[in-house]
């Protein structure tokens, strides 16, 4: 991507304004948006639902205009079939070269955007964008699909056939698994935005969230391409998973290998099976490959100070008199009803990138020190990674309201709840049991329907007697 652009740097002073967004979108499709500015834009889209809707509408409008333009693009010559990843010839992907200043336009909704006479990343398909290319094989929670030329989203349903477009998930338990016509499957979970297209070569943009991929062998010279805000993945046929935010992309490969590119400087590396790599905006260090790191058997978080991490949900409160430092529950969208009304929970959450906080074994116990202003049932959801870094399911334990007396806690209301594997029930289709060697990647403590004044002073993942 070009590091310089016209018009000066973007700023977040008006990050939700129409002028800011239109300027960023125009630079994106015109290949004038610097890598750091694209990361800034992705951060805005991740936090601002109105901005994300405007982004989808804006990109879909341009995509629709392109499809109406009969001679919009020229197909580049395809590389000849040969070695899986030729090392002596720079790879060309939609006009993208080998250096840090090579063009790398990724338009939303998985399509070519013809701007200024230049060919963008997505080339025009030989068929109509309305032709179905994938089927929904599993869906859970709030998941919607927006097709090309549309500004409205339709809920996903198992068995539904989808054309090129954008799938957006909301909430801690959301999941969508899509199977392309060649058998390739992608699975996205929780708050995620993924755009996809297949005109004989699959192109996918994972804007945020977690995605697992089981790719069938792809046509010679037409590898599947996956783009994130900070990385590009070239896939011939393999299994891998991606965890993505605006600052970094973590990849773990289970089978086969992929070509992994850091967008900040164009560095590339092959990532073989049973290894991981991370691409961020920091271009100074070499792009490396390593064996997955095993998490510890135990984890403790006492909220002694605000972490400032984007992977924590809640409002930090300092120690006050006899009250310990703690996190107060905040409202968040946990999903949507069939009529698109938001389902609001109030909770505190901790998230961890792979490899996770700790290994979850048969005798593992999750302890949470908490208090509530009102007596209420409290829910503890534990999300799991597979050892490979792939999604391993969400599991929920429900704790009834405390009885009056000693079991309700001390005089200040604090009590400790314990969650074992036997108390957890599965929430996601296809993940009926906690996988062997699972890693805890998130703990969410919340109430449903109303704010009960929940505060959490500590979370511990332990193995008794260890």
Residue 307, in any domain of the structure: yes
Q: What is the pLDDT of residue 449?
A: 82
Residue 242 confidence (pLDDT): 94
Question: What are the pLDDT digits (tens) for 377-394?
Answer: 999 999 999 888 888 999
**Is the residue at 251 inside a domain?**
yes
Same domain, 335 and 451: yes
8 or 246, greater pLDDT: 246
The rounded distance, in Å, linking the Cα atoms of 216 and 183 is 6
Residue 230: give the domain boundaries: 18-280
Say which residues have a Cβ less than 8 Å from residue 188's Cβ, sequence separation at least 6. 167, 169, 175, 176, 194, 206, 209, 210, 211
Would you say how long the chain is, in residues?
466
Evaluate if residue 323 carries a pLDDT over 80: yes
290 lies in some domain: no
- What confidence score (pLDDT) does residue 65 get? 45
Residue 287 lies in a domain: no
Same domain, 309 and 458: yes
Residues 229 and 361 in one domain: no
Q: Does 370 score more than 60 pLDDT?
A: yes
Domain-located, residue 56: yes
Does residue 116 share a domain with residue 224? Answer: yes
Q: Decide which of 104 and 152 is more confident.
A: 152
Q: What is the CATH number of the domain that holds 316?
A: 2.60.120
Q: How many CB atoms lie within 10 A of CB 98?
A: 12
pTM: 0.70
Please identify, among 224, 252, 280, the residue that sits at the C-terminal boundary of a domain.
Answer: 280
Q: Which residue has the tokens 């200024």?
A: 116
CA triple 347-348-349, angle to 5 deg: 120
Report phi then psi at 22, rounded to 5. -60, -40
Over the chain, what is the mean pLDDT?
A: 78
Is 90 exceeded by the pLDDT of residue 6? no
Q: At what angle do helices 49-67 and 35-47 cross, to 10 degrees?
A: 120
187 with 333, same domain: the answer is no
pLDDT digits (tens, 9 = 90+) for 112-159: 222 222 223 444 444 455 789 999 999 988 899 988 766 667 889 999
Backbone angles phi, psi at 435, to 5 degrees: -70, 150
Categorize the per-residue pLDDT at 228 as very low, low, confident or very high, splitting at 50, 70 and 90. very high
Domain of 276: which CATH number? Answer: 2.60.120.1440
Residue that terminates a domain, selected from 220, 251, 280: 280
Give me the pLDDT at residue 112, please.
29
pLDDT tier for residue 417 given thresholds of 50, 70 and 90: very high
Mean pLDDT of 32-45: 66
Residues 313 and 429 reside in one and the same domain: yes
Out of 250, 280, 310, a domain closes at 280
pLDDT of residue 116: 26
Structure tokens at 24: 């960023």
* Residue 12 in domain: no
The whole-angstrom distance between residue 99's C-alpha and the CA centroid of its chain comes to: 27
Choose among 38, 354, 16, 336: nearest CA to 207.
38
Q: How much is the pLDDT for 409?
A: 54
Q: How confident is the model at residue 340 (pLDDT cuts 50, 70, 90)?
A: confident
Is there a single domain that holds both residue 75 and residue 192?
yes
Q: Report residue 38's pLDDT band, with 50, 70 and 90 as the boundaries.
A: low
pLDDT-based confidence at 413, cuts 50/70/90? confident
pLDDT at residue 361 tops 50: yes
Of the CA atoms within 13 Å of residue 338, those in its CB half-sphere come to: 1
Q: CA-CA distances (angstroms) from residue 118 to 3, 34, 158, 397, 403?
A: 18, 18, 38, 54, 68
H or E element, residue 391: strand 391-399
Q: What is the pLDDT of residue 338?
A: 73
Q: Is the same domain home to 191 and 238?
A: yes
Of residues 172, 168, 30, the one with CA closest to residue 104 = 30
pLDDT digits (tens, 9 = 90+) for 70-93: 333 333 333 333 334 433 333 333
Q: Is 121 in the same domain as 177?
A: yes
Residues 261 and 314 placed together within one structural domain of the fold: no
Structure tokens at 281: 């905006």
Among 93, 109, 75, 448, CA closest to 235: 93
Question: What pLDDT does residue 279 have?
Answer: 94
Positive or negative torsion for Cα 22, 28, 29, 32: positive
338 and 261 in a common domain = no
- Whether residue 242 is found in the same domain as residue 214: yes
Report yes or no on 9 lying in a domain.
Answer: no
β-pair type (224-227, 202-214): parallel
State residue 39's pLDDT score.
Answer: 62
Kindly state whether residue 189 falls inside one of the protein's structural domains.
Answer: yes
As a whole number of Å, the CA-based R_g of the chain is 23
DSSP code of residue 115: B
pLDDT in the model for residue 46 = 60
| Residue 464, pLDDT score | 84
How many domains is the chain built from? 2
Proportion of the chain above pLDDT 90, given as a percent: 47
Taking a C-beta distance cutoff of 8 angstroms, is the pair 167, 145 a contact?
A: yes
Higher pLDDT, 402 or 406: 402
- What percentage of residues in the chain have a pLDDT greater than 70? 71
């Amino acid at each position: 991507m070009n590091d310089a652009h016209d018009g000066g740097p973007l700023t977040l002073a008006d990050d939700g304004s129409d002028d800011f967004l239109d300027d960023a979108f125009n630079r994106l499709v015109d290949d004038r948006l610097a890598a750091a500015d694209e990361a800034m834009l992705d951060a805005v889209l991740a936090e601002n639902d109105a901005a994300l809707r405007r982004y989808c509408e804006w990109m879909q409008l341009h995509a629709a205009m392109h499809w109406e333009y009969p001679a919009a693009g020229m197909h580049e010559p395809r590389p000849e079939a040969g070695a899986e990843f030729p090392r002596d010839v720079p790879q060309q992907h939609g006009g993208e070269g080998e250096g840090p200043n090579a063009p790398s336009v990724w338009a939303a909704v998985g399509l070519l955007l013809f701007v200024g006479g230049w060919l963008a990343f997505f080339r025009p398909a030989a068929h109509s964008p309305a032709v179905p290319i994938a089927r929904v094989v599993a869906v859970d929670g709030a998941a919607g699909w927006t097709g090309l030329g549309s500004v409205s989203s339709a809920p996903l349903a198992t068995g539904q056939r989808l054309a090129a477009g954008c799938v957006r998930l909301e909430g801690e338990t959301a999941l969508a698994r899509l199977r392309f016509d060649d058998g390739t499957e992608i699975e996205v979970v929780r708050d995620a935005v993924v755009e996809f297209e297949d005109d004989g070569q699959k192109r996918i943009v994972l804007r945020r969230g977690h995605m697992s991929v089981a790719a069938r062998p792809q046509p010679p010279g037409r590898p599947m391409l996956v783009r994130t805000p900070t990385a590009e993945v070239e896939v011939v046929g393999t299994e891998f998973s991606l965890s993505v935010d605006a600052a970094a992309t973590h990849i773990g490969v289970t089978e086969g290998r992929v070509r992994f590119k850091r967008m900040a400087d164009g560095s590339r590396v092959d990532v073989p099976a049973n290894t991981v790599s991370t691409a961020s905006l920091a271009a100074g260090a070499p792009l490396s490959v390593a064996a997955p790191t095993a998490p510890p058997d135990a984890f403790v978080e006492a909220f002694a100070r605000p972490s400032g991490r984007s992977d924590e949900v809640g409002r930090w409160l300092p120690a006050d008199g006899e009250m310990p430092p703690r996190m107060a529950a905040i409202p968040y969208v946990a999903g949507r009803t069939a009529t698109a009304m938001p389902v609001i929970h109030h909770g505190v959450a901790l998230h961890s990138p792979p490899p996770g906080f700790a290994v979850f074994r048969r005798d593992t116990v999750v302890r949470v020190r908490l208090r509530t202003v009102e007596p209420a049932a409290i829910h503890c959801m534990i999300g799991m990674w597979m050892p490979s870094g792939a999604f391993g399911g969400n599991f929920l334990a429900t704790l009834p309201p405390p009885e009056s007396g000693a079991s309700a806690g001390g005089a200040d209301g604090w009590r400790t709840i314990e969650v074992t594997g036997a108390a957890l029930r599965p929430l996601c289709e296809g993940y009926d049991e906690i996988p062997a060697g699972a890693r805890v990647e998130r703990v969410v403590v919340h109430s449903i329907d109303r704010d009960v004044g929940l505060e959490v002073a500590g979370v511990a993942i332990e193995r008794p007697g260890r």
